């Protein structure tokens, strides 16, 4: 085991575990809120994915394997194949605690605790499909075909859930100067987030204007067109419904 990699892992893992504990608690409290649930599950997935990668790089195979099963269950929830119910949330809490124990054992030079039963439980939950689970979401009619084609399965699921919750699907088109596009895009995204949900971002560059960066943003909101147009006006962005 590489001591430098282990030291880096232990330093990063402490922060990741703190975020995991907090986000699992937030998810339990807000699981009935569609947008909050989607954002929290996505954030948990990223935390666990990072933990898995750093643990594996440090040679902590058992911790990496447990994180992989945790990640697989989170992926099932993201795709709607598993529900964020009490059984799943309990498993999230237990998996987080087990990862914390593995970090503590690594820091003290002790052997990893047995996690076989927890791994089996995570696998069962990840493959126990919810009654209304769908392999894919049909976004036909919600978006132009060329925009819909580029969405991932996660983005299609997110959009359809938002629409079922009462939002409308929009496409926002904007272009910014290459010199400050990142700041302009950040400000516009924050403005959009205040009244809706950015589902996907599709950047590009037009051959006729290589000095500008274009964006197609798939967006869901229950706000009216007039309100959204006001928000987008300072950025010169255009709004259309699917």
Same-domain check for residues 13 and 80:
yes
Q: Is residue 171 part of a domain?
A: yes
Q: Is residue 136 part of a domain?
A: no
How many other β-carbons are positioned within 10 Å of the β-carbon of residue 38? 20
pLDDT of residue 98: 95
Give pLDDT tens digits along the chain (242 positions): 566 777 778 888 889 999 999 999 999 999 999 999 999 999 999 999 999 998 888 888 888 999 999 999 999 999 999 999 999 999 999 999 999 998 888 777 776 678 899 999 999 999 987 665 555 678 878 999 999 999 999 999 999 999 999 999 999 999 999 999 999 999 999 999 999 999 999 999 989 889 999 999 999 999 999 999 999 999 999 999 86
Same-domain check for residues 83 and 185:
no
Q: pTM higher than 0.75 for the full model?
A: yes
Q: Is residue 139 part of a domain?
A: no
Q: Give CA–CA dist 191/185, Å, rounded.
A: 10
Total count of domains within the chain: 2
What range defines the domain where residue 42 resides? 3-127
Same-domain check for residues 195 and 85:
no
pLDDT of residue 129: 72
Same-domain check for residues 155 and 63:
no
Q: What is the 3-state secondary structure (H, E, C) of the chain?
A: CCHHHHHHHHHHHHHHHHHHHHHHHHHHHHCCCHHHHHHHHHHHHHHHHHHHHHHHHCCCHHHHHHHHHHHHHHHHHHCCCCCCCHHHHHHHHHHHHHHHHHHHHHHHCCCCCCCHHHHHHHHHHHHCCCCCCCCCCCCECCECHHHHHCCCHHHHHHHHHHHHCCCEEEEEEEEEECCCHHHHHHHHHHHHHCCCEEEEEEEECCCCCCCEEEEEEEEEECCCHHHHHHHHHHHCCEEEEC
Q: Is residue 178 part of a domain?
A: yes
- List Cα–Cα distances, 3 to 49, 52, 60, 64, 223, in angstroms: 22, 18, 12, 17, 53
Same-domain check for residues 51 and 84:
yes
Q: What would you measure as the largest C-alpha separation in the chain, in angstroms?
A: 61
Same-domain check for residues 108 and 190:
no
């Amino acid at each position: 085991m590489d001591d430098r990699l282990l030291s880096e892992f232990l330093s990063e893992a402490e922060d990741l575990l703190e975020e995991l504990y907090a986000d699992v608690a937030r998810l339990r409290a807000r699981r009935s809120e569609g947008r909050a649930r989607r954002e929290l599950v996505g954030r948990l997935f990223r935390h666990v994915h990072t933990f898995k990668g750093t643990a594996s790089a440090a040679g902590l195979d058992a911790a990496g394997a447990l994180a992989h099963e945790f990640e697989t269950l989170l992926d099932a929830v993201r795709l709607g194949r598993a529900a964020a119910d009490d059984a799943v949330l309990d498993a999230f809490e237990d998996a987080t605690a087990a990862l914390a124990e593995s970090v503590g054992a690594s820091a003290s030079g002790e052997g990893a605790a047995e996690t076989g039963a927890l791994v089996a439980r995570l696998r069962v939950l990840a493959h126990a499909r919810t009654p209304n689970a769908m392999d894919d979401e049909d976004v036909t009619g919600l978006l132009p075909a060329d925009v819909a084609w580029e969405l991932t399965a996660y983005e299609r699921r997110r959009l359809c859930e938002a629409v079922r919750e009462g939002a409308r699907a929009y496409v926002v088109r904007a272009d910014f100067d290459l010199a400050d596009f990142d700041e302009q895009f950040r400000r516009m995204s924050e403005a959009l987030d205040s009244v809706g949900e950015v589902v996907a971002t599709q950047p590009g560059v037009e051959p006729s204007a290589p000095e500008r960066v274009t964006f197609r943003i798939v967006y869901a909101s229950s706000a009216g067109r007039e309100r959204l147009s006001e928000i987008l006006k300072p950025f010169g962005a255009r709004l259309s419904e699917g």
